[in-house]
Structure 1
Amino acid sequence: MRILFAFLTALLVSGALPANADDHATPPAAPNAPAAPMTKQDRLDKLFTDLKRERNEKAAERIAGNIWNEWSQSGSASIDLMMQWSQKAIENQKFDVALDFLDQVVTLQPSYAEGWNRRATVHFMMKNYGKSMSDIDRALQLEPRHFGALSGLAQIMALTGHKQSALEAWQKVLVIYPMMRSAQDQVATLSEELAGEGI
């Protein structure tokens, strides 16, 4: 036993064995080392946390605008260009042209939630509610916090006479974006209407 102890002590002194477990730990970062850059997902997570906590309507609108800016960046110059062209077509009420661009966007980058949301918006403007809801569903699968897509869903539900579903969708919007004035107004209005109807 003494021989084993002497052998282990010799190994320890020679540095062949670690003195303690901390010797295997990663060395601490230098105090002035730059922090790793935030990913798009990190930025969105922080913005959504800020949006949920913000109680000033104007400040919340600015945060929501920053979220829309993050959503609009596809990571592809060609997709971003097609999104710009689709927006121009929408502004000129050339919905078929906008759909052509957006069909390309969702085909080329099916994981880009904003492409699906934009196409849902065009279908909504064309009163193609079924197609709009299908695209909204896809956008929400990719980004469940997409308050724009949820707002669109709520509007379709209200327009098609499904007030309870519309109310539930607006309530989901308020969980994500509590200071959205239009959602607050819709929840109040629909709640009154449904109470009056006795649900």
Structure 2
Amino acid sequence: MTRKEEILDRLFTLLKNARQETRAEVIINQIWQIWLDSGDASLNLMMKEGNEALTAGNYNDAIKIFTEALLYKDSYAEAWNKRATAYFLRGNYKQALEDIKETLKREPRHFGAMAGAAHIYATISDMAALLGSLESLYEINPSYPNLAQNINTLKRKLGRS
């Protein structure tokens, strides 16, 4: 296990046990900092350019850049996650969900990808899949605002309470 993996494991344990939203936010920010640093200067530059395109609303350019990043290093979960975001913003939910699955293969605790999947499932009204995503997210971050309440409400709607 690498030092980075050890740190992430420790942070995820802290996140799961965090009972205050403000404490969870600090831990989440630390996790994001680790995820966003690929450890490779060339890949980090590609990701920076992709994020700039994403922020500017140039989704096709962002997808192209993140695809190049994946061709460079397909094991980098955050490249999959960012491309999923670009696909989502472009309205291509099917491709976004495929990239989210790839993200989660590489980092099963990726709460950003889980939240993205939940957002897509809510958008396309797939309530059963939405519930599954929210429950997965709750396992990682039980202090997420209103998450437990939203899960219980959705369970009642689906007749699963």
TM-score range for the pair, normalised by the shorter chain length: over 0.9
Aligned residue in 1 for 2:139: 175
Aligned residue in 1 for 2:7: 43
Cα distance in 2 for partners of 1:122, 1:51 equals: 27
How much has 1:189 moved relative to structure 2? 4.0
Which of 74, 90, 93 matches 2:54? 90
- The alignment of Structure 1 onto Structure 2 pairs a total of residues equal to 160
Cα distance change on mapping 1:164 and 1:135 into 2, 3 Å:
same
Asked if 1:149 corresponds to 2:108, the answer is no
Counterpart amino acid of residue 126 in structure 2: H
Counterpart amino acid of residue 109 in structure 1: K
Asked if 1:163 corresponds to 2:122, the answer is no
Looking at both structures, which has the greater relative contact order when contacts are Cα pairs under 8 Å and sequence separation is at least 6?
2
Aligned residue in 2 for 1:14: none
Where 1:181 maps in the other structure, the secondary structure is coil
Higher Cα radius of gyration = 1
Which of 38, 42, 60 matches 1:74? 38
Which structure shows the higher helix fraction?
Answer: 2
- Provide the identity percentage: 36
Residue pairs, 1:19-30, within 5 angstroms: none
Which of 59, 63, 73 matches 2:27? 63
Per-residue CA distance 1:115-140 (angstroms, 9 max, x = gap): 00010011011110111011011110
Counterpart amino acid of residue 54 in structure 2: I
| Unmatched segments (≥5 aa) in structure 1 | 1-37
Cα distance in 1 for partners of 2:96, 2:36 equals: 19
| Unmatched segments (≥5 aa) in structure 2 | none
Aligned residue in 2 for 1:116: 80
Query: Which moves more between the two structures, 112-121 or 184-193?
Result: 184-193
Counterpart amino acid of residue 169 in structure 1: S
How much has 1:192 moved relative to structure 2? 4.1
Aligned residue in 1 for 2:67: 103
Aligned residue in 2 for 1:17: none
TM-score under structure 1 normalisation? 0.76
TM-score under structure 2 normalisation? 0.92
RMSD: 1.7
Where 1:60 maps in the other structure, the secondary structure is helix
